[in-house]
Structures are given as C-alpha cells and as structure tokens.
Amino acid sequence: MSSPLALAAEPDPWKVYPDGLPDGANALRYNIDANVEISRQHIDPAGKQDWENAKESLAVDLREAIGLLPWPEKTPLNVQVTGRSERDGYTIENIAFQSFPGFYVTANLYVPKGIEGPMPAIVVTAGHSMEDGKNYDLYRTAQLGLVREGYVVLAYDPVGQGERKLPGNAHTVSYPAMLVGHTNLRYMLWDSIRSLDYLETRSDVDPKRIGIAGNSGGGLNTMYAMPVESRFAAGASFCCLCSYEAWIKDGGDHCICNHLPGIARNMEQFQFVGLAAPRPFMAGNGQKDPIFPIAGTRDTIRRAQQIYGLYDSADRVALHDVPAGHGWSKPLREAGYGWFNRFLQGRGDGSPVAEPEIALEPKESKDLLVFKDGKLPADAKSYIELVREEANRLVQGYQSVPSDSAGYAAWSKNLRKQLWETLGGKPVAVNSTPEEHGVFAWEGHSVKRLSIQTERNLEVPALLVQPESATGPLPLVIVLDAGGKKAAMESATVRRLLEQPIAVLALDVRALGEGKVKANQCASDAIVLGRPLLAQQAWDVIVAARTLSGQDDFGKVAVYGRGSAGLIAMLATALSDEIDAVVTEWTIASFVEAIADPLPQPMWAYAPNILKVADVSQLSALCAPRPLLWASPVDGKGKGMPEASSKQLFEPVLAGYQATAAKAAPQLIVGKDGEQVAGDFLIKTLAQ
C-alpha cells in the first residue's frame, strides 16, 4: 500500500494534465484574454460633445482607481533644507518635506545661475532604480540637461528608492495597500503633487510654468500626473506609455506599480491622456522596448491626438520614438528638452535639442544626499504604517453585525451585494458536467481526475476521492490548500474523512497547484481587470460546490481551507448558498494582518478595496447559520493568534449566528492542533 507522499512523487497519478497546463486551464491566459477583450470595447469619442459628456466620469474613475478619491488632505510640508552646494552654472539644494505627516520625501533641487526673474521648473520622477533613486546616473544626466536649458529641477526619491529604500517601503506594498483602496501610484503621484506645491512657494519659480518628466516608473508617474493634476503645464513621459491592450497582451510581467484596480474596465490609455488636453504631453519610447510595445504607444498617441484635435491642439500631444530599447536614452532626453523649451519657454518648434557632454560627480557625494547620515528623522513613517493606519480606520468604522433577525437579514443582503460590486461583479454561471481524465486506485479508494468548467473560458483541475466500499449519497468536503491538491492529499484529515466515509474533492482553484502560473503577472493582471484572483478563486469553489452537490452521489458539501487558502474558503462560503459548512485552519484572522513588508500572504490574497467593505470577521458572519470553525487562526507572521485577539475578532461572527438562531454556534479553537480540530469538526458536522 503506497503512502500519499510516495504516490505524489510519481510522474503522473495526481496530475489531471500530464502533458502540461492547457490554455483553457491557464489563469494567466484567462486574465490576459479578458483584459484584451474589455480594452477593445473603449471607442473613440464621436465628437467634442461626446467627449465633454464622458470626461468628467473618466476623471473620477481614474482618481478612484489610483486611490485619490477623495483628495487627501494637504497637510503642512514642513520643508527642511539640509544642505546647499555650488556648482558651475547651478546650485544644489537638499530638500526634505512631508507629503503626508511623517512621510518624508527626499529631493535635490537644482537651480540655474544667472537667470533673472521666475524660472520654469520641472519635477523629475525617477524610474525603478531602487538603490540610487534620484541619483541614478541616467536620471541625473537628464536632470542636469534640463538645468542647462534653464529649468529649476526638483528630483525626488520615490518611495522605496534611494534614501527612501527602507523596511516597510517596498514596491510590493502596493498589494496590501490595495486592500484599503490605495496603490503605489497614489503615493507616487501625491509626492509629485506636493513637489509642485513646494515649487509654487519659491519666488524663483514661475508657478504657471511647471512641468513633469520621468522615465519608466517615472514615466508612469508623469503620464498619470498630467490628467490628475491640472497645474502641471506640460509633461513628457518616457518608456512607459503604451495601451492596456498591448501592454498586458505582449508586455509580460510588470511591477505592481503599473496596475490600477479595474482600470481596463473603465478606460484605455488614450482616454486618460485625453483628459490632459489641451496641455502639452509627449511620450518618448524605444521602438525595441519589449515591455511597452511600440505599436500600443503609437495607437494610444494617435487616438489621443483625435481628442486633442477637438480642442484645436493636436500638435500638443506627440510621440517621439527611437530605435532603442527600454531606457531614457540620449535621443529621448534631447526630445524632452525641445518639447519643454517650446511649451514652457516659448522658444523653438519642439524639435530635439542637442545635449552637450555632461560630467557627473560620484553618486555617493554627500552633496547629493538629503540626510547625510543615511537615516530619516526619528518621527518618519513607512508606507506600511500609513496603510495600516487607514486599514484600522476602516475596520473601526464598520457597522456592528446585528444580533437580531431582521437587522441581520438586511445587513447580510447589503454586504453580500457590496462584496460582489467590490470584487468585480458576480460572474455568469456555467452549467456543465465535470470531465473525467482517468481513474486510479489509492489506499483502497477510487480517485477520479476531473476538470470542472467554472467560467466560459476556464476550467480547473481536481481529484475526486470516493471510498469504494461506500454506498448511497456521501457528504463531500472540498479541500483547498495553497500548495495545491497534492498538499491537500497529504493531509491526515483527508484520510480521516475518507474512513467515515466522506468523499473528498481536492481542488486546484485557478493559479494554484497544477494551475500555478507567474504569480505577480497573474495577480496584477486580475487587478487591472477588476476581478482580483481571490474573488476568481472563490468563484471556482462556488461552482465546484454547485456542480457536485447537484449530483446524486453527494449530500452536504463543506469547504475546508488550509493556510492562506482558508481565505478562499471563507469568501466562497460568504458569497454562496451552495456550501453547507466551512472550516479554516491556520488562516489569518484579519486582512489587516496581511499588511506587512515583506508580504505575509500570497499575492493572490490581496483583493483591492475589500477592507472598505468587510474583514474576515464580517465574511465569517455572512456564513451564518451554517456550521463554521476557525481552527488555530494566525497573525501576519504566521504564528498562532493570541486568544484574546482571536476572541475580539470573533465577536461579530457570534452576533451573526445569534441573529440567525443557528443550530450550532460558530467555533473558535485557539492554540491547539489545527488539523486534528478541523477533522473532528468536519466529521461531527457532516455525520449529523
């Protein structure tokens, strides 16, 4: 008799797709295709009035996706000048300011010498140069090139880069930030907006002639800052602008900075460029850039020119592309000089201006550092801290779960509706019979390899294990494990269930187990689509439960989620009536616990905006009156949650079950063997 571990090591038995994952079961392929399909639905405006009717709504959608709706409060900048040094033709000032209270921005201000009167200025935003930030050689070359053209240049370190590359500031924090409706871009843009606020306070800067420019991640900052902040008089975005369709279809695996929740549903890139009309905007791209395909950029600028043309300003939006790859190359820098000279200084026709030889001092120079000791002030807050503050504010503002029947009925109906809206809407149900891919014997049981269609263009693999000696309809437990169905089958609980006898469906929801794909790409593409992976995976469970519960072989259906997969189990049960009981084991008891750097949960677990609506406690309360168990809940570090904290989080669950007069109270078991407790609960519940 083989053990599950031994059998799982063999090349074939547990695989539904022995020849590799087909496109029809590939979650990444599904999300790419869905994004492309929806992106193609955005059409050019029929005329000026059509655009005027649409643009206000688009602007709101854009700010909401970024996380700038409502506008944050403009708190005091508390500017510090920590150093000043003289150079040939310009002065360097080291500036620190707080874009949010305690959120320090480190910047260098380059001021040209010998120019009378208020000067035009450019905010230069750095791309992904994590170690050097604003002082990366390529970016300093552009900064000094602009200074030589007569611009005051403010160059700052984006969060997580240069002097701000500190624990709690990583770019992956955008995943937990999205739980509260924030994004990396929210903080990047706010830093740019507050940079502009600072420049407006200076007597040597003309507030009507402030532009913005950047490359790659800085180009991202620029291309969204232009439609969001109307005070930027001109912009030049390098090596970033494309189209959502081309970028997602052919651009590959991107930083989460690029991804805004649901943005592909609401607009294409030509539309947000059009929101800046008639202010001058240029894109500069490499024709050989593999991550921002030039065809998408050309199409976006062509379509944006039609919108600008509605305001007789088609020449104010342009593309300068060069035979190069990704990077702020000299031809692109020269194009930027000419663009800004035309529109901020009124000289030249916008053609590229030759860049002279620019000598750079060592990037380690103390004159380039804002904080000479390499430390931010003691009162500095990290990105993670700001997100946690917002998460706690949201959770503390939740309506209490009603403990009376009528109040709970209204509360649960409304919350489920809000959840579906937040998670991208309820998908269209499909009705299909699971497809069998062979049967084999294991431990005296029959194991069927199945694929279950859960959406129009997607199926998921599963193993259906049925005790061979059993007769009549059996209860069924859908077992979910972040490690996939192989890990689920190695569980001692699975063996105990089969002995009862209780049937087991070890399910690989999309992007897990046999369906594993590029984690960041799939999770971030799902975010752009407006249907986060967590919601998609919960839908897989809902459909699987509905499909099998409709068969004569099965009775009650429970879901058992282990580790991070417990979030999938709980969300599926909260949103569905097809599931009769739910158990989570070693699962975080609150999404707030998932807000940390480095990420304590898989990327797929971070559903944008969910904390605006509900935490794990509220999801669990929606499961009433069905049997529910939290077995050994954990904190953000994967350690057992203290009993007092667990009980506090469980109070809303108790209220929901009291309201529904549930036959059995929900159970919370802390500090015990989670797997043993889970097995006992499932056996007792399903044997009733």
User: CA 222 to CA 217: how far, in whole Å?
Assistant: 9
User: CA 528 to CA 517: how far, in whole Å?
Assistant: 17
Whole-number pLDDT of residue 470: 77
| Mean model confidence pLDDT for the chain | 95
Whole-number pLDDT of residue 526: 98
User: CA 352 to CA 344: how far, in whole Å?
Assistant: 15
pLDDT greater than 80 at residue 456: yes
- Tens digit of pLDDT for each residue in 96-112? 999 999 999 999 999 99
User: CA 120 to CA 205: how far, in whole Å?
Assistant: 6
pLDDT greater than 70 at residue 2: no
User: CA 159 to CA 170: how far, in whole Å?
Assistant: 8
What's the average model confidence in pLDDT over 186-199? Answer: 98
Owner of token pair 């799902």? 526
User: CA 160 to CA 157: how far, in whole Å?
Assistant: 8
Assign 3-state DSSP to the chain and report helix, strand, coil percentages, each to 5: 40, 20, 40
1: pLDDT confidence band, cut at 50, 70 and 90?
Answer: very low
For Cα atoms 112, 116, 118, give the angle at the middle one, nearest 5 degrees.
80
Phi-psi region of 496 (alpha: psi -120 to 50; beta: other; left: phi over 0): alpha
Burial of 643 (0-12, 13-18, 19+ CB in 10 A): exposed
Roughly what angle, to the nearest 10 degrees, separates helices 217-228 and 48-66?
A: 120
Q: What is the DSSP letter of 190?
A: H
Q: Which residues pair with 566 in a beta bridge?
A: none
Whole-number pLDDT of residue 117: 86
pLDDT greater than 80 at residue 349: yes
Whole-number pLDDT of residue 596: 97
Sheet holding 554-562, edge to edge: 435-442, 445-455, 458-467, 503-507, 474-481, 554-562, 581-585, 628-631, 667-669
471: pLDDT confidence band, cut at 50, 70 and 90?
Answer: confident
Whole-number pLDDT of residue 321: 98
pLDDT greater than 90 at residue 229: yes
Whole-number pLDDT of residue 365: 95
Whole-number pLDDT of residue 5: 40
Whole-number pLDDT of residue 121: 98
What's the average model confidence in pLDDT over 146-158? Answer: 98
- Tens digit of pLDDT for each residue in 43-85? 999 999 999 999 999 999 999 999 999 999 999 999 999 999 9
Whole-number pLDDT of residue 211: 98
Residues 436/449, Cβ–Cβ less than 8 Å: yes
User: CA 132 to CA 136: how far, in whole Å?
Assistant: 5
For residue 453, what is the enclosing H or E element? Answer: strand 445-455
Whole-number pLDDT of residue 7: 44
* 350: Cβ contacts below 8 Å, ≥ 6 apart: 318, 338, 339, 341, 342, 343
- Tens digit of pLDDT for each residue in 576-608? 999 999 999 999 999 999 999 999 999 999 999
Whole-number pLDDT of residue 244: 97
pLDDT cut 90: percent of the chain above it: 92
Lowest mean pLDDT among 60-64, 169-173, 636-640: 636-640
Whole-number pLDDT of residue 12: 62
- Tens digit of pLDDT for each residue in 275-318? 999 999 999 999 999 999 999 999 999 999 999 999 999 999 99
Owner of token pair 């770019």? 171
Strand pairing class (458-467; 445-455): antiparallel
Whole-number pLDDT of residue 9: 43
Whole-number pLDDT of residue 472: 79
What's the average model confidence in pLDDT over 509-516? Answer: 97
pLDDT greater than 60 at residue 320: yes
pLDDT cut 70: percent of the chain above it: 98
Joined tokens for residue 577:
């009536």
Give the 3-state secondary structure of residue 231: coil
671 or 316, higher pLDDT: 316
* 680: Cβ contacts below 8 Å, ≥ 6 apart: none
